[in-house]
Chain A
Amino acid sequence: MSESTTIWVIIVAMGLGSFGLRFLFLGVIGDRQLPEWVLRHLRYTAVAVLPGLVAPLVLWPAATEGQPDPARLAAAAVTLGVGYVTKNVLAAIFGGAATLFLGLYFL
């Protein structure tokens, strides 16, 4: 498979999958209640996947050939902190980006 075909496969599969998840109850299962233990696990999917995805990127950035980098570590800490305190995604992104650029140019 060429790289472009692979990306199309990913786009189509994600599109079908995401639509399937969104349509699951509205269209298929209807008003029946899900078992409590399933709902309990579903509540934590995003918060269980995203931190695991991001941790290696923060500790071992590809741009520095996997060496921990003070500017990127500081930017990560500020982003997480601002997001946690303000609950505002954009404020966190801007805070983190500003920290990264200050760090890259002054450290």
Chain B
Amino acid sequence: MRPGAAARRNAREFVGVAPALALVALVFVLPVAALLLRSVLEPQPGLQNYAEIFASATYLRVFENTFLVAALVTLVTLSLGFPVAWLMTIASPTWSGLLFAIVVLSMWTNLLTRTYAWMVLLQNTGVINRALLGLGLISQPLPLINNLTGVVIGMTYILLPFMILPLHAAMRDLDPAILRAAALCGATRGQAFRLIFLPLLASGIAAGALMVFVMALGYYITPALLGGAANMMLAELIAQLIQSLLNWGLGAAAAFALLVVTLALYAVQFRAFGFGAMREGR
């Protein structure tokens, strides 16, 4: 490239980022920073709110639970979503279109309504238990709701499309010739899967997993309705602090702590897998 062209290119690319930056800075960062500041100003200036959070076994347990559930849900959606995305990529256009339609359709009903439908399905007196009891497969209703199982089932349901679609997009971009070449070179399916297929999909997997994990961290309506009291997620606790107990200092502190931990995880993930890894690899 001609000298100076690189700098000009950078400047032009930065201009593209400008609208997003302006939006996020003005509409998000400024108002939120003002509120988060309350975490060190209310009720007295100082770090008492943070001390309260880290000293409390409850908050730490809620934190822990939130990240564990998010990780678990991410794993489950990946395990279920990967085969579906794969089939969507290679099946005939009709079947693939049908799969696509079903995935998109499942996102269309309102979140709350879907959650209530799961309540109807999972309860002791619900559809699944009654069917299993009726068929004689079980003698006692299975505890599918008001526990971790219910939360995972419900959240996976909501987040699955957010894993499937990016994975499918990544798979579609793969050139089948690469895999055929591998076969010609004598690679088994397992080797091709491990050494070629997965690595090429790394960015798609990372994108899907990131979205699902982060969304799972922030959900609280679904876990509140499908989980038990012991499964409380951080977002629900923060909502309670902000909207019911009106303790904005503590709520802001908990939110800020969540933000810091999540961004730290994101930094680690980025360093390990890197969004730029794909380009470097080529």
Query: A and B: partners?
Result: no
